[in-house]
Amino acid sequence: MIKWSIGSSGTPADSYYEVRSDCTDDVPKSKFKIKAGKTLSVRKWQAAFSTDGCLDIASVLSRIQKGGVHPTVRGEVWEFLLGCFDPRSTFDEREEIRQIRRLQYARWKEDCREMDSHVGSGKVITAPLITEDGRPIKDPLVLLEATSSQNTSDSASTSSKNGNVDDSATRITDKHIIDWKLTLHQIGLDVLRTDRTMVFYENKENLSKLWDILAVYAWIDKDRGNFKCTDQSVGVANQLQYLASIIQVLDPKLHDHLETLGGGDYLFAFRMFMVLFRREVSFGDSLYLWEMMWALEYDPDIFFAACEDASAHKSKISRSKLRGVRHFGKRDKENAKNGAEDTEGPVPISVFMVASVLKEKREKLLLEARGLDDLIRILNDVNGNLDAKKACAGALKLHKKYLRKVQAKKP
């Protein structure tokens, strides 16, 4: 079991993120400890609100950057870190926004259900529903169906007709709908692979809800950056290019060696960016790592950007009012101090995280890597062994060093 010390109580973390009993030997052990006085506790979180509900985001960010968030309030805190709410909003305003968003999600889900009846049915689709030219496929494989039973042993069902094109069905001509339907079985396969060691994902209803959410998201957000791949580029191409530039500036010798090995495109780091180090650390540590990065990158305008992107409810608090109380994350303060504003925006902290991993493995890469296989083998040693807190600290140091070097080169 993954165990954390929570304050003085010593409550184990598996009471929050329970691991299946048959998988306890297969999961990485947590290296992060939740500590009183450093971690954002329930008490500190509640004390950060004014009487009408405005949040002192600066104190919250500072605490998160020191020691993460206690699991019992993580869901509430993430709503602010990810821009769901303006920290200057009141309790009543946020409740109004919640209701509006619930209704909006219900409408989106109903729109998707009208295009495909599997949405909201309690089923997870794992085989194609449609051909690339829009012809429906008869009886696609439905691997899992949510029922009241928690036993998943009887969840698999197959059809002997699976894969047959239904010539009697109406052919779909809308390219957007075709593209969306072609992603549904891919989403299903990913859902079934999601943290299979966790007890939470043994519950078929949880899996089907996750599939519904991702199916709706795939419809409303067709341009998903990290996951958008073409014949010319992969979705994380920008981050890979940033990484190459950073290593070239900070460690030209390592960069040249990687190029000699055929790794100059840095595609070996693809997975780290795609799943944000989920394979490299334990489940609990990955949550800590993510909230640490979000706190470091926090932008007070993120709420307004999210509202504009979704064409959703506009905050009653004006943008100009919020600008008067800006609280940047630590990374963005360094950008501002060094004049590193960029028309394309700042480099994500995740890029410096990967750079810190490469720097940590620098000597081994230079001495032992004689080809791409060696390179991948050395980096795979990081799996389950990455210290999330040290990696964040290393990323910040590299970020500061990178900014200094870039500034020094400017005329």
Token pair belonging to 109:
């889900």
Note the pLDDT of residue 6.
40
pLDDT in tens, 141-174: 677 765 444 444 344 444 434 457 766 678 899 9
Are 55 and 80 in contact by the 8 Å Cβ rule? The answer is yes
List all residues 6 or more positions away from 6 whose beta carbon is below 8 Å from its beta carbon.
Answer: 13, 34, 70
Note the pLDDT of residue 377.
92
Note the pLDDT of residue 327.
47
pLDDT in tens, 295-319: 998 987 766 655 555 544 343 433 4
Note the pLDDT of residue 60.
96
Note the pLDDT of residue 75.
94
Q: Can you say how many angstroms the Cα of residue 24 is from the centroid of all Cα atoms in its chain?
A: 24
Q: Which residues of the chain have pLDDT under 50?
A: 1-10, 12, 147-162, 311-328, 336, 340-343
